[in-house]
Amino acid sequence: MSELPALAPWQQRAYDQAVEALTSGHFGHATLITGPALIGKRLLAEHLARRVLCLAPRADGEACGACKACSLFAARAQMEVAEVRPDGTPAHPWGHSTHPDLLFLGYEINQKTGKPRTEIVIDQIRALTASMGLTAQLGGAQVVIVDPADAVNWSAWNAILKTLEEPQPGRYLWLLASSPARLPATIRSRCQRLELRLPPRAEALAWLRGRGHPAELAEEALEAARGHPGLADAWASGDGLKLRREVLSDLDALQRRSAAPAAIAQKWVADGRADERLRHLAEQALQRAGARLDAPTVRALAACFDAANRARSLLQSTVRADLAVLEALLPWLPAATGSAR
């Protein structure tokens, strides 16, 4: 059997929901799998793919682990698991299928520049629809996984829409998106939804403990990640919590005016982890706003929250990174936040 990691309880719930739809014949051609980054959308899709591709399912419908489809899937899953980036995303999401009826669409290397593209382009969809036009090579189902669907560009969507308008039995298109609102309404309306939600705190903590994190660290990470176990796991595993503590101490220095905003901004962009820091900053604004009741302070913190998120999207643009970060720091200065501190 493949080395695919087991599903976490909250992923299992979504999986069971999909299986119920599959067995009752209500599972659609196109499914939008949603949930925040690192919650397990890809893993859920992998498990579902293994199930629907199996050529000789067990009595309960689960993959047999022995047929040709399962063997090909296992070979692929091992490759994928071996190559995962620190943030949990596969290092090479594109072209990693050793199974002819399992296709992935993700960030591709631009042959002209040698760098990964920042969006999914129409040429990729054309190649995909050409493959989908053929009958399944193993005689079973065909699965296409688009990850992340948020990165599909406008003209590529038009091409995808065409495949949505010609559904075929046994052919599945799964769109993975952490910001489904960015997808065109015409696409969303044609997809069923499978949503991965944040689990209850006790379940998330038990899962983190099961991943080998000590109780105290698991709790700190889960609090920092606002209940998101996948994010908490990433932070508790790497130096994410150390980074968070640094952000809090920089924020303190900023508010005491013992460090200049521009100096902090430069420090934050120097190691390429500005986005992570801004995420902690936004989370701080939310957390403090939750502890306060007076309206002016809450408004000031809301401005801090918005500024951090605006800066995160500015980091994706051509704006100088330290200037983008500076914009997120200024609303935290004592004059701006009043009694927020």
Rounded Cα–Cα distance for residues 35 and 41 (Å): 7
Is residue 1 part of the contact set for Zn ion (CB under 5 A)?
A: no
Q: How far is CA 47 from CA 2, 33, 54, 168, in A?
A: 10, 13, 11, 21
Q: How far is the CB of 83 from Zn ion (least distance, A)?
A: 24
Binding footprint of Zn ion, residue count (CB under 5 A): 5
53-61, 172-180, 190-198, 297-305 -> range binding Zn ion (CB under 5 A): 53-61
Q: How far is the CB of 103 from Zn ion (least distance, A)?
A: 18
- In the complex with Zn ion, the residue whose CB is nearer, 101 or 219, is 101
Q: Does residue 142 contact residue 173 with C-beta atoms inside 8 Å?
A: no
Among 8, 44, 54, 149, binds Zn ion (CB under 5 A): 54
Is residue 64 part of the contact set for Zn ion (CB under 5 A)?
A: yes
Rounded Cα–Cα distance for residues 144 and 140 (Å): 13
Nearest to 75 by CA among 102, 57, 36: 102
Instruction: Give every CB contact of residue 13 below 8 A, 6+ residues apart in sequence.
Output: none
Q: How far is the CB of 282 from Zn ion (least distance, A)?
A: 44
7-15, 47-55, 208-216, 304-312 -> range binding Zn ion (CB under 5 A): 47-55
CA 334, chain centre distance (Å): 35
Is residue 48 part of the contact set for Zn ion (CB under 5 A)?
A: no
Among 30, 52, 70, 281, binds Zn ion (CB under 5 A): 70
Among 7, 21, 67, 75, binds Zn ion (CB under 5 A): 67
Per DSSP, what are the bridge partners of residue 173? 30, 144
Q: What DSSP character marks residue 242?
A: H
Rounded Cα–Cα distance for residues 199 and 221 (Å): 15
Q: How far is the CB of 66 from Zn ion (least distance, A)?
A: 6
Interacting residues with Zn ion (CB under 5 A): 54, 63-64, 67, 70
